Structure 1
Amino acid sequence: MPKRILSGVVTGDQNAQTVTVSVERRFTHPVMKKTVRRSKKYRAHDAENQFKVGDTVRIRECAPYSKNKRWEVLVDGADA
């Protein structure tokens, strides 16, 4: 099964080798037919601590690194 890849903005980088990424999705409400924006935060592994708050990043599903960390940040040169 392919791994999911999401795009979002880094909202936190306080912890070592971890960033918090806010991912926004948009969908049409089934009854009101209005576009709704929902966001969710994911904890992602950042091995080199190279991403800071405000950076736009892509994250990929991976095996669990810790209790809450099941995503890793994709570095553009290593998207294999």
Structure 2
Amino acid sequence: MIEPVAKPVVRTEVGRVKRAKMQKTIVVEIARRVPHPKYGKRMKLLSSRFAHDETNECKEGDIVEIKECRPISRHKSWTLVKIVKTASAT
């Protein structure tokens, strides 16, 4: 019997637009809370991802959802899915 091939899971992240000064590229800052290895206190870790914004619709401060895709350039391997909340609404 042939088993069905499982589709790969697409990673998605929600973060805040840190920079939107490049053409068709945004920098999204993602905050995670992880426990300290020794003391256990929850710490806030920030990481940045370059994401592709085809229509240049994002502005700094927007809350956006991005998903992982094939590499578009040297640093870009994420694509904008949607704008969750605009900067003026925050």
Secondary structure (helix, strand or coil) at the match of 2:21 reads coil
* Length-normalised TM-score, structure 2: 0.81
Aligned length: 76
Secondary structure (helix, strand or coil) at the match of 1:8 reads strand
Measured in 2, the distance between the counterparts of 1:69 and 1:26 equals 24
* CA-based RMSD: 1.0
Identity of aligned residues (%): 33
**Counterpart in 2 of 1:61?**
68
Select which of 31, 37, 40 maps to 1:33.
40
Tell me if 1:12 matches 2:19.
yes
Secondary structure (helix, strand or coil) at the match of 2:64 reads strand
Deviation track 1:13-72 (CA, whole Å, cap 9, x = no partner) reads: 111000000001001113201011101000000000000000000110001111100000
- Structure 2 stretches lacking a partner, 5+ long: 1-7, 84-90
* Length-normalised TM-score, structure 1: 0.90
Runs of 4+ aligned residues of structure 1 deviating over 6 Å after TM superposition are none
Tell me if 1:47 matches 2:54.
yes
